[in-house]
Amino acid sequence: MAHAPREIIIAKNLGFQYVGARKAAIQGIDLSIRENEFILLTGPSGCGKTSLCRCLNGLIPNFYQGEWTGELLVDGLSVTTQLTSELSRKVGYVFQNPENQLFALTVEKDIAFGPENLGLSRQEIRQRVDEAMNVTGTLPLKDLAPYELSGGQQQRVALAGVLAMKPSVIVLDEPTSFLDPRTAEEIMRATDDLRRELGLTIVVVEHRLDLVSRYAERIIVMDGGKIVADGDLEETLDEKFDLLQGLGVGVPRVSLLWTMLRRDGLVSGKVPTHLESAAASLQGMMNQ
Amino acid sequence: MITLDRVSYTYRSGQRALTDIDLNLEGGDFIAIMGENGAGKTTLAKHLNGLLKPSQGRVLVDGEDTRKASVAKLSRKVGLVFQNPDHLLFSETVRDEVAFGLKNFGFAPDVVDKQVERTLEALGLSEYTDTSPFLLSGGERKRVALAAILATEPDYLILDEPTIGQDYQQKERLRNFILQLYSQGKAVVMITHDVEFVAESNPKVILLSQGRIVARGPADSVLSKDELVKKASLVRPQMSRLFSELTNYGFPSDVIDVHRARLLLEEKLSEAKVRVAQNS
């Protein structure tokens, strides 16, 4: 029997309240994420998903002041006692707006910034930068300034900069919001390819499930700072559709259509998460 | 009315951003400007309130050429809500943020208070009245930026990517709000690549690609055409893609929203059910 992949993120009763805030941003979070998982983290605006992500790479509690409770281990390191510089090697963070992340004069220098600050040898830096540019398809852009790039290219460069740190986990916080739909799909596909090729663990924060439902096997839903659902994406959509819909999660339109028709008594069976499966079921029924 | 008359715009770098744009915008209009990253959508929006002046052609706001009018004066008529809220927010509390524009326009304090309260309530932000905008989430900050502009009640409202970072409920709220505005006779322009939001709101769509208008028309006729949509680096709404798989069953080719899809399918599936019952 193949042994289960090891746990890379473990949270026990994790909570955090920002200074000046009236209530906790997150509370009572119990979580275990295994290596190489692709996780969709979602929930209504203000539910605490970004705060949870900030904990994963130590931005909380190291850069945001507030009250911390519970325990969080990332790749065996405790977030509260570890230096942020150590954590940032383990957990890479891609922000919603790549403009906020890129700052060097050229793409290549931007990608090299992280590894240069790790005090690595020139050769090692060179190698990491080349590798990161190769896998993200940013090599042709290396001499351009980040501001000359399109949003999709910028987001690839941000991803490359994170990869050059050789993290085990990459957190992407609404990484495609600023991108047009085609580019958004491309970035999600590229992210999943990296997960497969490099054995990374991926956490994507996203409102639009249809963009990620092809890749993510597991969904974690938050509301009011707590986890309210955590499980297999397809099963969760089927069993907890009303909960998700009620929370304002952007359920795939085909799933919504299916639940409406199911309520009408016109279809039965599991809620489809992709277009293809919905189309096939409907065709089958109309052929009868 | 805002009129764009053969507007072209070239950046100082020599890069052409807009070519020959003709557009009329009047009260009661609801228009979505869609297109790929870099298509010129935001550049176009900035022409509507005079932040940018055309290199060629002209923009008239209620008859006044934007090259001659001050941005301050135009901003009373045309409210532009930027994509990134952090470019706009600077006050210590949400209340101050939303009151800022109103105070600048010289409204009396009690009018300002009332208007702030009303707008915050309409956008579901009342509980944050005394909170710092910087303690709010990205989606919430975006709504504060929107509230700050809405409170001044511009005749023309330009929203640059209003749905980014908003969950489904907030989008619903936004949709209702927009509906209310244009039924009151305001004009609403939304720049977006959120095809599902557009599919369910059914505005007129202007499709922009490489600085040119490549299509315009009702959302269902534009967004159901694969070739057009691809050209603008968009994807068709999921319902449109689903119904492409079902063309053999006699469905119309311009279904883009889930409610119409449901009605059409209910009919067909009921027929199929009757057939099955009869045969057995």
Q: Looking at the structure, tell me whether residues B132 and B197 fall in a common domain.
A: yes
Q: What are the chain B neighbours of A245 within 8 Å (beta carbons)?
A: 168
In a domain, A2, yes or no: no
Task: Give the one of A177, A279, A285 whose C-beta lies nearest to B165's C-beta.
Answer: A177
Instruction: Provide the residue range defining the domain that includes A265.
Output: 252-288
| Residue A204: per-residue pLDDT | 96
Q: Do B138 and A96 touch (CB under 8 A)?
A: yes
**Domain assignment of residue A259, yes or no:** yes
Instruction: Let me know whether B242 and B176 are in one domain.
Output: no
Residue A279, CA distances (Å) to A114, A212, A214, B93, B268 in order: 46, 19, 16, 49, 14
Judge whether A147 is closer than 8 Å to chain B, CB to CB. no
Predicted confidence (pLDDT) per residue in A128-147, tens digit: 999 899 888 899 999 999 88
Put simply, the answer to whether A44 touches B262 (Cβ < 8 Å) is no
The per-residue pLDDT for range A253-267, each reduced to its tens digit, is 999 999 999 999 999
Q: Is A195 in the same domain as A146?
A: yes
- A50 located within any domain: yes
Q: CA-to-CA distance for A17 and A25, rounded, in angstroms? A: 5
**Does A192 lie in the same domain as A147?**
yes
Percent of chain A with pLDDT over 70: 99
- From B9, B278, B224, B1, select the one nearest A288 (Cα to Cα): B278
Beta strand extents in A23-163 (DSSP E only): 26-34, 38-42, 66-74, 77-78, 91-94
User: Which structural domain, as residue segments, surrounds residue B215?
Assistant: 2-236
Q: Would the pLDDT of B210 be above 50?
A: yes
Calculate how close chain A gets to B257, using CA atoms only, in Å.
Answer: 9
Does the residue A25 lie in any domain? yes
A279 and A145, same structural domain?
no
SS (H, E, C) chain B: CEEEEEEEEECCCCCEEEEEEEEEECCCCEEEEEECCCCCHHHHHHHHCCCCCCCEEEEEECCEECCCCCHHHHHHHEEEECCCHHHCCCCCCHHHHHHHHHHHCCCCHHHHHHHHHHHHHHCCCHHHCCCCHHHCCHHHHHHHHHHHHHCCCCCEEEEECCCCCCCHHHHHHHHHHHHHHHHCCCEEEEECCCHHHHHHHCCEEEEEECCEEEEEEEHHHHHCCHHHHHHCCCCCCHHHHHHHCCHHHCCCCCCCCHHHHHHHHHHHHHHHHHHHHHHC
Q: Answer yes or no: do A192 and A81 share one domain.
A: yes
A231 and A259 housed in the same domain: no
The answer to whether B269 contacts A267, with C-beta atoms less than 8 Å apart, is yes
For residues B220 and B262, membership in a common domain is answered with: no
| Same-domain check for residues A79 and A60 | yes
- Would an 8 Å CB–CB cutoff place A260 in contact with chain B? yes
Cβ atoms of B254 and B234 within 8 Å: the answer is no
Cβ contact, residue pair A177, B196, below 8 Å: no
Chain B residue numbers touching A182 (CB-CB < 8 A): 36, 230, 233-235
Longest dimension (CA), chain B: 77
CB contact under 8 A, B242 and A257: yes
Q: Is residue A1 assigned to a domain?
A: no
- Nearest chain B Cα distance for residue A238, angstroms: 18
A154 in a domain, yes or no? yes
**pLDDT tens digits along A172-194:** 998 888 778 888 888 899 899 98
Q: Is residue A260 part of a domain?
A: yes
User: Cβ contact (<8 Å) for A180 and B276?
Assistant: no
Residue A2 has what pLDDT? 55
Say if residue B55 is in the same domain as residue B189: yes
CATH number at residue A185: 3.40.50.300
Tell me which of A11-25, A41-55, A81-95 is least confident: A81-95
User: Minimal CA–CA distance to A152: which of A184, A115, A192, A120?
Assistant: A184
Tally the domains of chain A: 2
Confirm or reject contact between A251 and chain B (CB < 8 A).
yes
Looking at the fold, whether B85 and B158 belong to one and the same domain comes out as yes
Q: Are residues B126 and B259 in the same domain?
A: no
* pLDDT-wise least confident of A83-92, A261-270, B192-201, B235-244: A83-92
Q: Looking at the structure, tell me whether residues A285 and A186 fall in a common domain.
A: no
A263 burial via Cβ count (<10 Å: 0-12, 13-18, 19+): exposed
Nearest chain B CA: its distance from A28 CA (Å): 20
Are B165 and A174 in contact (CB < 8 Å)?
Answer: yes
Q: How many domains does the structure of chain B reveal?
A: 2
Chain A residue with Cα closest to B87? A100
Assess whether B98 and B187 both reside in one domain.
yes
The secondary structure of residue A39, as a DSSP letter, is: E
Q: Is residue A32 part of a domain?
A: yes
Residues A100 and A149 in one domain: yes
Pairwise CA distance, residues A236 & A222, whole Å: 13
Are A188 and A269 members of one domain?
Answer: no
Q: B249 and B193, same structural domain?
A: no
Rounded Cα distance, A224 and A29, in Å = 11
Look-up of token digits 């930026």: B145
Would you call A225 an interface residue with chain B, using a CB distance cutoff of 8 Å? no
Q: Are A134 and A266 found together in one domain?
A: no
Asked if residue B260 and residue B152 are part of one domain, the reply reads no
Name the residue facing B165 among A96, A260, A267 (closest C-beta). A96
In this structure, the answer to whether residues A215 and A262 fall within a common structural domain is: no
Beta bridge partners of B64: B61
Same domain? A201 vs A286: no
Mark whether B141 and B166 lie in a shared domain: yes
Residue-averaged pLDDT of chain A: 90
Residue B38 confidence class, pLDDT cut points 50, 70, 90: confident
Per-residue pLDDT of B123-163, as tens digits, reads 889 999 999 888 888 778 888 999 999 899 899 999 998 98
Q: Do B258 and A185 touch (CB under 8 A)?
A: no
Q: Are residues B148 and B225 in the same domain?
A: yes
Please check whether residue A279 touches B, CB under 8 A.
yes
- Does residue B151 sit in the same domain as residue B276? no
